[in-house]
Structure 1
Amino acid sequence: MKRVMIIGQPGAGKSWLARRMGEITHLPVVHVDHVHWAPGWVERSRAEKTALCAEIHARPEWIFEGNHSASFEERLARADTVIWLDLPVGLRLRRLAWRSLRDWGRHRPDMAPGCRERPSPEFLRWVWATRATMRAKLRWFYKQVPHDKDRYHLRSRAEVAAFLDGLRTAVAVGNLGIPHR
């Protein structure tokens, strides 16, 4: 496990999982929102996002969470592990609403500098409106992941917790090829 691709819909816990995995494995964590947004909530162009993703993919190690789908093919080619967080929409919406309230006006570590948390009813509506289409796209992509890569389709908080417990154990016994740092 040297290059981990985490995908999922908003509120699934991609950033949280990436940070926990980074703590356990000591692999560098990259959040796609750092690629997507420039400081002050300025959206980067598609070409700029794709170029930034390519720079990240070229690194020898990473945990890269997020969904810039234009870079999926290249990221998948470099990844040795793919994790699809596929949690229910109700849970995801509650998480997003709670996150907005909890972190209102603060900068989250998974966001670009100068992007302070703000409530966005439009974003919640978009999450609801795209719940089926985005999930179908992620399902299609996940089915394309070659079977020689480690694949994890996590559908509940319990499955995520079990995955992290297994990862801790594997790292502790040196079963992942990740050096203790």
Structure 2
Amino acid sequence: MRRILVVGSSGAGKSTLAGELARRLDLPLIHLDRHYWRPGWTAPAGDEFRARVAELAARPAWVMDGNYAGTLDLRLPRADLLVLCDPHRLRCLVRVLRRRWAYRVEPRPDLPPGCPERIDLDLLRYVWRYPGHSRPRVLAAVAAYAPDVPVRRVRGRRDVARLRAEVGKHS
């Protein structure tokens, strides 16, 4: 495996798992949030982000974490594996709150400078609605753009342990 895409709700553990997979497989780690956001949580203009994602996805090897459904068409066909981090939404909400507390002073390593950890109603709504709104969009994108890409759904610690063991065999 040379290209692993990790997606899921906020608070699902995408960045943590992606970092671990990248270290285990000695692959470059790409946090899409670092490429999307500008200081002050400012979004990029126009198609700038799509062009950047196309460049990143064209690389020969990576572990890439981030949702950005509007770029799945660029990333999925290049991926060797899609990991869908999919714990229960309540667990994700707790993790989002815990993460906010943990990074109240120091910035999160998967975010760009000038984007301090924050929680707002939109984020909480996104997490709550992920299973019914965003997860089906991800699965539809897989069917449309990369039906042969294996999908590993990771719901909890046992699933993560199984994925670790499987990745270790194929490295």
TM-score, normalised relative to structure 1: 0.84
Larger Cα-atom Rg? 1
Counterpart residue identity of residue 9, structure 2 = Q
CA contact (8 A) 1:84 1:142 kept: no
Matched, 1:86 2:79: no
How many pairs are equivalent? Answer: 170
Which residue of structure 2 lines up, in the alignment, with residue 158 of structure 1? Answer: 158
User: Whole-Å Cα distance in 2 between the matches of residues 98 and 2 of structure 1?
Assistant: 32
Aligned CA distance change for structure 1 residues 126 and 82 (closer, same or farther; 3 Å): closer
The 3-state SS of whatever aligns with 1:41 is: coil
Matched, 1:37 2:37: yes
Counterpart residue identity of residue 83, structure 1 = V
Counterpart residue identity of residue 33, structure 1 = D
The 3-state SS of whatever aligns with 2:133 is: helix
Deviation of residue 52 (structure 1)?
Answer: 1.0
Which residue of structure 2 lines up, in the alignment, with residue 11 of structure 1? Answer: 11
Which residue of structure 2 lines up, in the alignment, with residue 179 of structure 1? Answer: none
- String of CA shifts for 1:115-143, please: whole Å, max 9, x gaps: 12234344223322454211221232344
Aligned CA distance change for structure 1 residues 29 and 143 (closer, same or farther; 3 Å): same
Which residue of structure 2 lines up, in the alignment, with residue 128 of structure 1? Answer: 128
Which residue of structure 1 lines up, in the alignment, with residue 102 of structure 2? Answer: 102
CA contact (8 A) 1:105 1:118 kept: no
Matched, 1:73 2:94: no
TM-score, normalised relative to structure 2: 0.89
Structure 1 residue ranges, 4+ long, deviating more than 4 angstroms after superposition: none
- String of CA shifts for 1:79-130, please: whole Å, max 9, x gaps: 1111111211011000001000111132111101221223434422332245
Which residue of structure 2 lines up, in the alignment, with residue 52 of structure 1? Answer: 52
Paired-residue identity, % = 32
CA contact (8 A) 1:3 1:62 kept: yes
Question: Over aligned residue pairs, what C-alpha RMSD do you find?
Answer: 1.8
